[in-house]
Amino acid sequence: MSTDNESVSRRGFLRAATGAAAVTATAGQAAAQEGNETGGSGGGPTKTVTVGPGGSLVFEPAELEITPGTTVEFVWDSDDHNIVVESQPESANWQGTEGGASQLYDTGHTHTHTFDVEGDYEYYCAPHQSAGMVGTITVSKDAGSSGGGGGGGPPPVPDSAKTLGIAASIGLASTLGLAYFFMRYGGDYAGQD
């Protein structure tokens, strides 16, 4: 049998649960917005170029258009590759992979560079240049505005915000599950001594 105190306790429980879920969801949204404003890593946006995807002798994408301040991460997906800079804007300082044309790297290796100077950067893999393993990065303030580049669009959501969003969803589902259980099977423990 239900009493007024029991329904008040259930109602109070549901209010508290809803308030906690709302606070958690708001925190997740704030973290996502904060990460988006900084590009997720404290600097500009990050783009990825796969080196030798699936063992093929290419950079993917072979042509990339980015805005100044974008960091490009080159990720090796097969063995025996490097990055040799063929040409770049006069005031740029990209060296390619350490060791130049003679040093090769294998699957799992990464190389990053932040491109600040506008212009075209042409590069190649020394042992596979004749097979067509070449790439171009174009740095421009207008990158992505024509719809085909890589610098436009919304910034990525950082992993920390995704994790917080998942945790908030799980917490909300758990709280609602408990609320359903208490409403369904009753029990007012607030009045017991």
d(CA 12, CA 8) in angstroms, rounded, equals 6
Options 81, 109, 111, 183, the catalytic residue: 81
111 is catalytic: no
CA 74 – CA 58 distance, rounded (Å): 12
Chain-centroid distance, C-alpha 33: 13
Set 1, 109, 113, 125: catalytic member? 125
Give the CA distances from residue 133 to residues 66, 112, 123, 148, in Å, rounded to whole numbers and listed in that order: 20, 18, 9, 22
Asked whether the beta carbons of 118 and 143 are under 8 A apart, the reply is no
Q: Which residue among 1, 109, 113, 133 is the active-site one? A: 133
Is there a catalytic annotation at residue 183? no
CB atoms within 10 A of CB 122: 14
Annotated catalytic residue 1:
no
Distance between CA atoms of residues 151 and 143, nearest Å:
5
Reference 79, options 97, 52, 44, 103; nearest CA is: 52
Whether 133 is a known active-site residue: answer: yes
| Identity of residue 129 | Q
Active-site entry in 1, 113, 128, 183? 128
Q: Which residues are catalytic?
A: 81, 125, 128, 133
